Amino acid sequence: MAIIVNLDVMMAKRKMSLNELSEKVEITLANLSNLKTGKAKAIRFTTLDAICKALDCQPADILEHR
């Protein structure tokens, strides 16, 4: 079992670039890139909340358990 990060899918659906999302949620490009590629080990609830607000989605749209 693993947690899959579908951030790239939601960004594509919203036609939002990594740079644009980085500016909106005030997180560095490096940290956002690590999250997008699944290299991040954790995510703060405040960061997840900011991403969900920026992409107008739910946490389950970004994180998936397989």
For 64, the 3-state DSSP assignment is: strand
pLDDT of the chain along its 66 residues, tens only? 799 999 999 999 999 999 999 999 999 999 999 999 989 999 999 999 999 999 999 999 999 999
Q: Tell me how far the alpha carbon of residue 6 is from its chain's centroid.
A: 7
Whole-model pTM? 0.91
User: Residue ranges per domain, the chain?
Assistant: 3-65
- Looking at CATH, the fold of the domain delimited by 3-65 is given as 434 Repressor (Amino-terminal Domain) (1.10.260)
